[in-house]
Homo-oligomer: A and B are copies of this chain.
């Protein structure tokens, strides 16, 4: 006996950066079939209400409790969608659900469980700016809530040494105002050039803002928790679109590196 009620399932779905035009049809379908939606308050709020749908919104930083709750509901036969912004596998709920699953009762392993990808913030931002991630790149979570800051610094130095472009998630929050300032200092010291940095805030929402700033002119206040930051490699280029500068320039990283 597996301990799992018939008909229950758990889907961990990515809602993309905000606009419904960026939600995949398979995610839309899972949301339509769900009995329960679970996630961080603003992401749950994105899912339209309908009869029979129970929404469980929780605050930030309770990811493991939320994951356990989702696993329990699915085990009892509910059809549960855990929603993340962007892609659930990139600094979002999928790893939290698997951490809870691994530590939980054996029955949870028999669940019908699927992860449905979404458009992650760095790729939505990259598309708006041009193609800054068109060559090898790294994705780094700048929050030191779950890892030591020295490890973040080590990774930044190695990424610069390898001349990767970089995408930063969670660059700065009210409770962590200093990390991003240190990141900019480190990048200025190690890169030593004027490579473009893209500050992409709330892409595809009414609050969208996009700024392209040369590295030495970046300041910590340019980023907040709704911003993804993309730092070019040494080869990243800017194409001006008009002389007046009214249209955003195109930022792209060429595919090739000469021998």
Chain A, residues 125-152, CB within 8 Å of chain B (1/0): the string is 0111011111111111100001110010
Measured between beta carbons, the chain B residues less than 8 angstroms from A139 are 133, 136-139
Measured between beta carbons, the chain B residues less than 8 angstroms from A146 are 255-257
Q: Which of A201-225 contact B (CB under 8 A)?
A: none
Asked if residues A98 and B26 are in contact (CB atoms below 8 Å), the reply is: no
State whether A102 and B239 are in contact (beta carbons under 8 Å apart), knowing that A158-B161, A162-B154 are contacts in the complex: yes
Cα–Cα distance between A141 and B257 once the two chains are bound (Å): 12
For A119, A133, A141, which residue has the most chain B Cβ atoms within 10 angstroms?
A: A119
For A24, A148, A259, which residue has the most chain B Cβ atoms within 10 angstroms?
A: A24
Chain A, residues 84-115, CB within 8 Å of chain B (1/0): the string is 00011111101111110110000001100111
Chain A interface, number of residues (Cβ within 8 angstroms): 76
Q: Is A117 at the interface (CB under 8 A from chain B)?
A: yes
State whether A95 and B134 are in contact (beta carbons under 8 Å apart), knowing that A127-B88, A164-B155, A239-B101 are contacts in the complex: yes
Q: Is A124 at the interface (CB under 8 A from chain B)?
A: yes
Q: Is A35 at the interface (CB under 8 A from chain B)?
A: no
Q: Is A39 at the interface (CB under 8 A from chain B)?
A: no
Copies in the complex: 2
Chain B min CB distance to A165 (Å): 10
Q: Is A191 at the interface (CB under 8 A from chain B)?
A: no
Measured between beta carbons, the chain B residues less than 8 angstroms from A119 are 24, 117-119
Cα–Cα distance between A120 and B101 once the two chains are bound (Å): 26
- Which stretch of A51-59, A178-186, A246-254 is in the interface? A246-254
A interface residue numbers (CB < 8 A to B): 16, 19-26, 29, 63, 87-92, 94-99, 101-102, 109-110, 113-120, 123-124, 126-128, 130-141, 146-148, 151, 154-155, 158-159, 161-162, 164, 237, 239-242, 250, 252-257, 259
**19 CB < 8 A contacts A-B:** A19-B26, A20-B25, A21-B25, A21-B29, A22-B117, A88-B131, A90-B134, A95-B252, A95-B254, A102-B237, A109-B239, A109-B241, A109-B242, A113-B250, A115-B128, A136-B139, A138-B139, A139-B139, A147-B257
Top 3 A-B pairs, shortest CB-CB distance: A95-B134, A94-B131, A146-B256
Known: A23-B24, A89-B134, A147-B256. 6 other contacts (CB 8 A): A22-B24, A87-B127, A94-B127, A120-B123, A133-B139, A146-B257
